[in-house]
Amino acid sequence: MLIMLNKLREKSSLIGIFWMIVTTIFFVGVTIFVKILGEKIPSSQTAFLRYLFGTIFLLPIIINSFRDIQIKLINKFILRSFFHAIGVSLWFYSMTVITIAEVTAIGYLTPIFVCIGAIILFKENIKGFRAFAITLSFIGAMIILRPGFQEINLGQYSMLLAAFVFSFSYLMVKYLANTKSSLEIVGFLSIFTTIFLTPLALIHWVELNTDQISIIILISIIATIGHLTMTMAIKATTMTIIQPFTFLQLVWSVIAGIMLFDEKLDIFVIIGGIIILISTTYLSIKDAKE
C-alpha cells in the first residue's frame, strides 16, 4: 500500500512538473507577442482585449459554472480578479519597455510578496527561514535594479508593483484550486478581470489594424492556456516540487530576447534572477516541512 502511494505521489509530481514547464513556455510566448505590439497600443487596452477574447473562448464553461457556484466563492473570484486586473496592466506595460529577462527575473519576486502578504494578512509567524528568504530576494532585486549605479526606469518600477499586486491573486488561487476545476478558475478570472479592465481600456482606446487584432487574439489564446496549465500544475502537486522549474522561464526569456529582439545579455539580471529564484525555492521547501 505504501509503495502504491509513493508511486502515485511520484506520478503526480511528474505531471505537475510537466505542466509547469509548459506554463513557462506559454508565459514567455505572451511576453514575446506583447513586445512585438510595442508601445503603440496602451497596455490597458491590450490586457482588456486579451481577457475579453479569453472570456469568449471559455464562455460555455463560465455559464455552466454559474449555476452551482456559491456567493462566497464569487466574492473571492471578484477580489482575485480586481488585483489581477491591476497586475496584468502593469505587467503588460513593463513588457513593452524593459527586456524580457528583466520582466521574468523581477516577476520571481511574487512568491516572496505572497510570503509577506501571508505574514501581514494572516498573521503567520515571521520565522527565521522566511526572514532569510525575504532578505535574499531583496539582495537579488537590488542586483537587478542596481540603484545608485543606474537609473531605475518606469518599466522596472511597474514590474515590481505588478509582482506585488499579483501576490494577492496567488494568495487566493490555492484555495480556489481546491473548490473548482482548472477551467472554471481560469474562466472566472477571465470574465471578472475583463470587467475591471473595461474602464481603463475605454479611456485610452486606440484604433487597431488587422495584424494587431490577430496578435492580441494569439496572446489571449496562449495566455489562457498558460493560466490553465499553471492551475493544473498547482493542483497536481505541491509548490515545493514545481517552484524550481520556473527557472526555465528565465532561460526561455534570455534566449527569446537575444534571438528575436537583439537584447543584450545582462549578467546582473541573470544573477539577480537566480538569487531570487533560489530564495523562493528555499521558502517553498521550508514551508512544506512546517
**What's the per-residue H, E or C state across 212-231?**
HHHHHHHHHHHHHHHHHHHH
Is 144 part of a structural domain of the chain? yes
Is 14 part of a structural domain of the chain? no
Q: Lowest-confidence range among 26-30, 156-160, 223-227?
A: 223-227
Is 20 part of a structural domain of the chain? no
- The range of the structural domain enclosing residue 156 comes to 26-32+41-289
Cell of 59: 464562455
Total length of the chain: 290
Q: Could you tell me where the DSSP H helices lie in 38-127?
A: 43-65, 71-97, 100-107, 110-121
Is 15 part of a structural domain of the chain? no
Is 18 part of a structural domain of the chain? no
Is 59 part of a structural domain of the chain? yes
pTM of the complete model: 0.82
* Domain count of the fold of the chain: 1
Average confidence (pLDDT) over 207-221: 92
How high is the mean pLDDT of the chain? 83
Confidence of residue 1 (pLDDT cuts 50, 70, 90): very low
Contact, 92 vs 34, CB < 8 A?
yes
147 forms beta bridges with 150
Is 4 part of a structural domain of the chain? no
Is 255 part of a structural domain of the chain? yes
